[in-house]
């Protein structure tokens, strides 16, 4: 594809999805390609970006997303791309256009009608959604943590339940009242949320809930597999289990959920686990609208199948990165896992390959480098394993060192999307906010 089209129009690169991978990609494209020759467009249904691994902190109220989110419009102006508010509805591959659904106001009136955006290169970076595996009652009665809106919804419901319990205890100190939370899924999201809830509960007494503390919180973590945190070595998973149980979390492993009701989770062995709030974090899949979108090859879980260059198998002008991409490296039996580090690495490869297509050079193959896994147990501890290349293999870490590495991952993301000067400035502001801002967001 030449830098200037025969019709005189700019070469248009469209990225759908402003998550970790998508935002990093448009930042690099906008920062390095000439605005006279290229038009970089980001399409996302939300006006702001927040790093998805932080959503459990937003849900518990220990992180104010308003301070950490990135507004796409301001960021686009700074980095030389354009932002379009809207949800992807379809892909017209023959016309090389994406179809964006109508945008409606709160009262249902149409703000912008259904429209099309042309592309020369298209990158799908729409992330993933929770996979309920068709379990009865999950859609109706369980919350997920797929987005900022989900996290805000959980926080509001959690606070309301804590207020109910506090009010009951004020009237009758001997009452048997609790805020009961059931979390299905013992991966990083479920484990981190369980620990963060106890950290938040200890602070509620300083914000008007004088008779509420962590003793009035009952959290049950349910995992279908033999242990929680299957991505970590067994020793570290056991350490995390012990830490959670010391906090008061009831950890159930080898326990399959058969249904969810308005006030409980039901397991295969017949146990009914009462819960005021139910969170489903047992797996992810591609969004339903991705199923065979544009006639592209997709998996049963609605992921777009890509080759080693991250181009979709049926259309070399369309790339997919992050959780929505399905790629099995040659010689390996498992696909690339849905992790933030994978999205970051895919964004880098997609950037180089789009530049290679523009310049007529060879494309590089995606080479996933597993840097290990880290799980934060709120302010209590952090556990994980890193690829210790300098010491000859995988290195298990926990405690302060693990916490330092965990926070550095977010710092790297900030620098990737803001640059060194602003990224470091935001980190400094974040430290100041930890001192001057309330410990919890309760509104």
Pairing label, strands 284-285, 38-44 = unpaired
d(CA 187, CA 75): 32
End-to-end CA distance of the chain: 50
Pairing label, strands 325-326, 315-320 = unpaired
Fold (topology level) of 138-282: FAD/NAD(P)-binding domain (3.50.50)
Q: Which of 339, 337, 388, 381 is nearest to 241 (CA)?
A: 381
d(CA 251, CA 230): 14
Can you give the residue ranges of every domain in the chain? 11-128+286-359, 138-282, 372-436
d(CA 373, CA 398): 11
DSSP 74-89: HHHHHHT-EEEE--EE
Backbone angles phi, psi at 222, to 5 degrees: -115, 125
pLDDT tens string, the chain, 443 residues long: the values are 445 566 778 999 999 999 989 999 999 999 999 999 999 999 999 999 888 888 888 888 877 777 778 899 999 999 999 999 999 999 999 999 999 999 888 888 988 999 999 999 999 999 999 999 999 999 999 999 999 999 999 999 998 898 888 888 888 888 888 999 999 999 989 988 998 888 887 777 655 566 677 788 999 999 999 999 887 778 888 888 988 998 899 999 999 999 999 999 999 999 999 999 999 999 899 999 999 899 999 999 999 999 999 999 999 999 999 999 999 998 888 999 998 889 999 999 999 999 999 999 999 999 998 776 656 665 555 555 555 433 344 545 555 555 555 566 666 777 777 776 665 665 565 544 454 444 444 44
d(CA 349, CA 308): 10
Fold (topology level) of 11-128+286-359: FAD/NAD(P)-binding domain (3.50.50)
Q: Largest alpha-carbon pair distance within the chain?
A: 79
d(CA 16, CA 416): 18
Identical fold, 11-128+286-359 and 138-282: yes
Q: Which of 352, 356, 353, 367 is nearest to 312 (CA)?
A: 353
The enclosing H or E element of 369 equals none
């Amino acid at each position: 594809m030449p830098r200037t089209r025969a019709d005189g129009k700019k070469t248009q690169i469209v990225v759908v999805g402003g998550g970790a991978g998508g935002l990093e990609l448009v930042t690099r494209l906008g920062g390095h390609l000439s605005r006279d020759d290229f038009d970089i467009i980001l399409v996302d249904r939300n006006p702001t970006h927040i790093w998805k691994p932080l959503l459990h902190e937003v849900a518990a109220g220990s992180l104010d997303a308003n301070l950490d989110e990135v507004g796409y419009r301001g960021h686009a102006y700074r980095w030389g791309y354009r932002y379009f508010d809207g949800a992807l509805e379809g892909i017209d591959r023959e016309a090389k256009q994406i179809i964006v659904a109508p945008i409606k106001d709160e009262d249902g009136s149409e703000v912008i009608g259904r429209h099309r955006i042309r592309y020369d290169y298209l990158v799908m970076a729409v992330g993933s959604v929770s996979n309920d595996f068709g379990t009865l009652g999950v859609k109706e009665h369980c919350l997920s943590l797929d987005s900022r809106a989900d996290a805000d919804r959980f926080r509001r419901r959690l606070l309301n339940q804590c207020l109910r319990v506090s009010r009951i205890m004020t009237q009758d100190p001997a009452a048997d009242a609790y805020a009961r939370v059931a979390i299905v899924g013992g991966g990083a999201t479920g484990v981190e949320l369980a620990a963060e809830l106890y950290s938040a509960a200890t602070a509620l007494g300083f914000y008007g809930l004088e008779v509420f503390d962590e003793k009035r919180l009952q959290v049950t973590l349910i995992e279908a597999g033999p242990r929680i945190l299957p991505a970590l070595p067994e020793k570290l998973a056991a350490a995390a289990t012990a830490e959670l149980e010391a906090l008061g979390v009831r950890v159930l492993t080898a326990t399959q959920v058969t249904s969810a009701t308005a006030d409980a989770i039901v397991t295969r062995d017949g146990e009914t686990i009462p819960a005021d709030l139910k969170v489903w974090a047992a797996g992810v899949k591609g969004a339903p609208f991705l199923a065979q979108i544009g006639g592209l090859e997709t998996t049963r879980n609605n992921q777009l199948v890509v080759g080693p260059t991250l181009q979709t198998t049926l259309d070399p002008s369309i790339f997919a990165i992050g959780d929505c991409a399905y790629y099995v490296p040659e010689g390996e039996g498992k696909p690339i896992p849905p992790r933030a580090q994978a999205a970051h690495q895919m964004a880098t490869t997609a950037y180089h390959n789009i530049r290679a297509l523009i310049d007529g050079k060879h494309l590089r193959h995606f080479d996933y480098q597993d840097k290990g896994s880290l799980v934060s147990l709120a302010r209590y501890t952090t556990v994980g394993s890193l690829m210790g290349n300098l010491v000859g293999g995988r290195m298990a870490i926990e405690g302060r060192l693990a916490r330092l590495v965990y926070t550095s991952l977010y710092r790297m993301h900030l620098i990737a999307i803001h640059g060194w000067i602003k990224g470091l400035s935001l980190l400094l502001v974040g430290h100041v906010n930890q001192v001057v801002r309330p410990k919890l967001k309760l509104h």
